[in-house]
A and B are shown apart, each in its own frame.
Chain A
Amino acid sequence: MKKRRKKLLHRDLKDNVEYYLLMAVPLAFIFIFSYLPMFGLVIGFQNYSVGRPFFGEGVEWVGLRHFEKFVSSYYFPRILKNTIVLNLMGLFMGFWVPIAFALVVNEIRNGKFRKFTQTVSYMPNFISTVVVAGMFLSFIASDGIITQLLELLGIQAKSLNANKEFFPWFYTLLGVWKNFGWSSILYLSTLSSIDPSLYESASVDGATRLKKIWFITLPSLLPLIMIQLIFAIGGMLSSNTDMILLLYNPSVYSTADVIGTYVYRESLMGGAYSPGTAAGLLMSILSFILVFGANWVSRKKTDFSIW
């Protein structure tokens, strides 16, 4: 039995040697750049400083001390709350926009206008985050266009960049502005694969266009929507750290400081890599649990799951 299996494997290898070789390159790439660096996580359990070895002599093992210190730190509740609040806001305001936009674009009749709208919508995605943040900061400066607009509406809008109530909204809306077009591409490509005969038969049955969206288009998008939702929940603890780093300042830390920015500021900038690694590992584990949980719930409730 065993022998036969071995023989089969051997034949398989021989017959498909080219494919295996092709496959080996990306596998090696992933192994070298994704799996080997994971060994670096050990510095989260050490008192590491640059130049010291990861293993062997001269390593100062401290166990879970960095993890404890991170979780029990004074700022931990605040950064955890900010991370979750900003992500939830991003989810509630950002998740449905690409879907709605894809549906609207899909209904535009004029081909040229449809192409134009689509192209325009994903232009912001190609502007670098630094430029977007810079543009936005100039808009909310004291003579910026958003400041003027808000004051026109009678809203007290002095020093918007130091206003901690507004920061989450700014961050969320800017994220939506930058990403909705790009995210909608995925939905639009799925829309194009819907069988046209479904629409035809719906028309024959006298369905209006809204009804067709509701009964044909949306159900076809549902698996993709669920997968995107699972990913979004998995990313609950990671936020767009570079965007926040560019937008925030000490006067809005109480609503803007998230795990990523805190770790960056407190650990990595000072060269304290061990606490930073510990925080990163902890967040990865929690995110993993979240993705797993979301996937499990989705599989139980809706039959759609990533694995």
Chain B
Amino acid sequence: MKQNSMVAERGRAGKSRLDRWTGFDTAVTAISVVVCFITIYPMWYVISMSVSDPIAAASGAVAFWPVGFSVESYRIVALDREFWQAFLNSVIYVAAGCVLMLFNTIL
């Protein structure tokens, strides 16, 4: 993808002025960093919450890093029989769907 413009810029002999870091690059990097943050933060936040101390999590003390540490919620989920049944169902659906889909699209 990027190769295209890279090739184009390298087209001139050696280190041309096009190889330099410009304001354009700064803008591109800034936008990308913001996008990455917006995408990652909610997911990270949920992970942080899930391993935080339940009291800290409920009181809204968690902002980025986990506050305290507790895997109690994971233990509850892992001991839930219905969860594993649902998990198994998901696996079956995905496996069967994937095989059928591949089969059909390859044909």
| Chain B contact residue count (CB 8 A cutoff) | 35
Q: Is A212 an interface residue (CB 8 A)?
A: yes
CA distance A22 to B105 in the complex (A): 11
Contact A191 B40 (CB under 8 A): no
Contact B39 A210 (CB under 8 A): no
Q: Is A289 an interface residue (CB 8 A)?
A: no
Q: Is B96 an interface residue (CB 8 A)?
A: no
Q: Chain B 6-45 against A: per-residue CB contact (8 Å), 1 yes, 0 no? A: 1111011000001000101100110110011011101101
Contact A25 B104 (CB under 8 A): yes
Q: Is B4 an interface residue (CB 8 A)?
A: yes
Contact A108 B29 (CB under 8 A): yes
Secondary structure at the A interface, as helix, strand, loop or mixed, is helix
Q: List residues 108-144 of chain A with CB under 8 A from any CB of chain B.
A: 108-109, 111, 113-114, 116-117, 120-121, 123-124, 127, 135, 138-139, 143
Q: A120-B39, A124-B43, A135-B42 are in contact. Are A212 and B107 (CB under 8 A)?
A: no
Q: A107-B5, A202-B8, A210-B24 are in contact. Are A181 and B39 (CB under 8 A)?
A: yes
Secondary structure at the B interface, as helix, strand, loop or mixed, is helix
Cβ contacts under 8 Å, A127 to chain B: 43
Q: Is B46 an interface residue (CB 8 A)?
A: yes
How far is the CB of B41 from the nearest CB of chain A, in Å? 9
Cβ contacts under 8 Å, B60 to chain A: 143, 148
Cross-interface CB contact of B7 among A29, A105, A199, cutoff 8 Å: A199
Q: Is A36 an interface residue (CB 8 A)?
A: no
CA distance A104 to B24 in the complex (A): 10
Which A residues are within 8 Å of any B CB, using their own CB? 22-23, 25-26, 29, 101, 104-109, 111, 113-114, 116-117, 120-121, 123-124, 127, 135, 138-139, 143, 145, 148, 177, 181, 188, 191-192, 194, 196, 199-200, 202-204, 208-210, 212
**What 9 pairs between A and B have smallest CB-CB spacing?**
A199-B8, A192-B1, A143-B60, A196-B4, A117-B32, A203-B8, A107-B28, A196-B7, A200-B11
A-B contact pairs, 29 of them (CB 8 A): A25-B104, A26-B107, A101-B35, A104-B31, A104-B32, A104-B35, A107-B2, A107-B24, A107-B28, A108-B29, A109-B2, A114-B1, A114-B2, A117-B35, A117-B36, A120-B39, A123-B39, A123-B40, A124-B39, A124-B43, A143-B58, A145-B45, A177-B38, A181-B39, A188-B1, A192-B1, A192-B4, A194-B4, A199-B5
